[in-house]
Structure 1
Amino acid sequence: MTLTPPRRTRRTHSEAFKQSLIEACGEPGASVAGVALANGINANQLRRWMRERGIEPPELSCLPLRVAASEPMGGFVPVQLSPHVDPPIRLELRKGAATVTVEWPTSSATTCGAWLREWLG
């Protein structure tokens, strides 16, 4: 039995494909890595194609910062909060067929604990 290792093949891309990706990198807000990832190639390969054609890949620090004019800049924005209400402590005690339900304010939890210890006594 003879085993032959799988051959590694290189992918080839047309000049039109390469040029379309290079042009896509020049669009506002586009990144070389994003364009490469979206097209299934390595970003370094795309940068190499750009260098081979004398095009310098854009640097992130050189990209213009765009801020929407309709968004307010800085400052305090008041937010309405609903009042926080703690739910009461609810105890359901059963003995035989009888059931007693007790609701106690959460703010008096220690008093509730003392009453329950005394009641269970």
Structure 2
Amino acid sequence: MDTNFQPIISTNARGQYRQHPLEFKRALVALSLEPGASVARIAREHGVNANQVFSWRRMYQQGRLGVPALMRDDCLLPLMLAPTAPAPSNNCSDADGIIVLELGEVRVRIEGQPNTAILAQVLDRVLR
């Protein structure tokens, strides 16, 4: 019985990873965020993996592609400030104002002093 204790080393180098420019990533993300767009089709047309495009979309939403997620031009929300009755002087924390956000069929009404963390979560869900 002959035993070979030598490791098998593959000589096939995987190659260099492609480094895509930031503008290319942003352009593909913008295409993929259009209504009715197919991420798989966009990725195939541009020679990248669809998983990579989804990764860039996540980075974009987190603001890691140089464009903050809430500063996009294509998702400005109409804002209407409604006047309110003045709050009683002894209890001014009940109602400091009203914010009404309308986006299509979605309407969000925020009264009083909203918690910033909860407000950020609400806006994140509405903007998706």
Q: TM-score, normalised by structure 1?
A: 0.39
Of the two, which has the highest radius of gyration?
1
Q: TM-score, normalised by structure 2?
A: 0.37
